[in-house]
Amino acid sequence: MSRVYNFSAGPAVLPEEVLKEAAEEMLDYRGTGMSVMEMSHRSKAYETIIKEAEADLRDLLNIPDNYKVLFLQGGASQQFAMIPMNLMKNKVADYIVTGQWAKKAYQEAGMYGKANKIASSEDKTFSYIPDLSNLEISEDADYVYICENNTIYGTKFKELPDTKGKPLVSDVSSCFLSEPMDVTKYGMIYGGVQKNIGPAGVVICIIREDLITEDVLPGTPTMLRYKIHADNESLYNTPPAYGIYICGKVFKWIKKMGGLQAMKEYNEKKAKVLYDFLDSSKLFKGTVVPKDRSLMNVPFVTGNDELDAKFVKEAKAAGFENLKGHRSVGGMRASIYNAMPIEGVEKLVEFMKKFEEENA
């Protein structure tokens, strides 16, 4: 068996320890004589799995009691519709558009009500976070929406916008559990788990209770109502049971690693190795305004498409997978999520140095 350094933006690298444990439990989960995949979601064993996963997540993020935690399906993209369907009571919401995912969410919301683009960084290919000092929050906005870490462009909100009292809704798919968060600053936090937590197919929503009501847009399907899932503790129907089980293992792994503060310090150390090199390199350069750089997704270019392609190809041959940038931006992107060991980043930088010498 040989494992590569996987720099994929998602589905992405998971802790090896978690994968091994899941492998050991594959045929017989703790004496039940079956895999978690084969188990009733109403069984005692599964109840323990989902309850422990929620408790560990609450512990890690310090989630207050007046927030519900929901394990849902449909990926992050389904939330682009679920959020307006459930939260747009006045049919107005403000969106800060800092990348493709925020833009998709903004466009989707426009199908259900008035979505206002109150700030954007599209003028410079989303390479920065717009000025948040004086946002025109709409008087009757039901919420203000951000995508906190821009997976494709590699920017991150280092501070949150002043929403003037409106609930803040944040897509944290690609920075989930990469550092501590103050949950009380948000009305809702959500993320697809395949970037930093588990297998694709699960989306986790953390929602302040007062935002979960029966008062949803007419025609909202039962399966798309937060209240149904909250009242049934994510077991209204069959949840993505195996995926939640893996998420639970990752939560325990993060706790063992020292929790979110330790994760943040490790992630800063890792990202610094790569950014320091990019800042000193004559060939490679980062594409993001330094103060807005993400710790998770690091896009870079040589400035020459042929050389970029050559780099991606040679890197792959050397065991560094999935470094090709998103199809919408080109160049390269290294996603260095929680489970990417620092050795992976150090070896990538060594490889980049060698490539730079050979192609000077």
Interface with ligand PLP (CB under 6 A): 10, 75-77, 101, 147, 151, 171, 173-174, 192, 195
Task: Output 75 or 341, the one with its CB closest to ligand PLP.
Answer: 75
Of these residues, 68, 156, 195, 249, which one is catalytic?
195
Is 253 in the active site?
no
Of these residues, 56, 68, 101, 252, which one is catalytic?
101
Minimum distance from CB of 49 to ligand PLP (Å)?
22
Nearest alpha carbon to residue 278 among 354, 349, 332, 326: 349
| Structure-block tokens of residue 323 | 């470094």
Task: Output 166 or 195, the one with its CB closest to ligand PLP.
Answer: 195
Of these residues, 171, 249, 270, 324, which one is catalytic?
171
Q: What radius of gyration, in Å, describes the C-alpha atoms of the chain? A: 21
| Positive or negative torsion for Cα 296, 252, 69, 184 | negative
Is 182 in the active site?
no
Task: Output 229 or 277, the one with its CB closest to ligand PLP.
Answer: 229
Q: Is the peptide bond before 240 cis (omega within 30 degrees of 0)?
A: no
Minimum distance from CB of 47 to ligand PLP (Å)?
26
Minimum distance from CB of 41 to ligand PLP (Å)?
21
Task: Output 200 or 309, the one with its CB closest to ligand PLP.
Answer: 200
Is 103 in the active site?
no
Task: Output 108 or 283, the one with its CB closest to ligand PLP.
Answer: 108
Minimum distance from CB of 24 to ligand PLP (Å)?
28
Minimum distance from CB of 199 to ligand PLP (Å)?
11
For the annotated catalytic residues, the residue numbers are 101, 171, 195
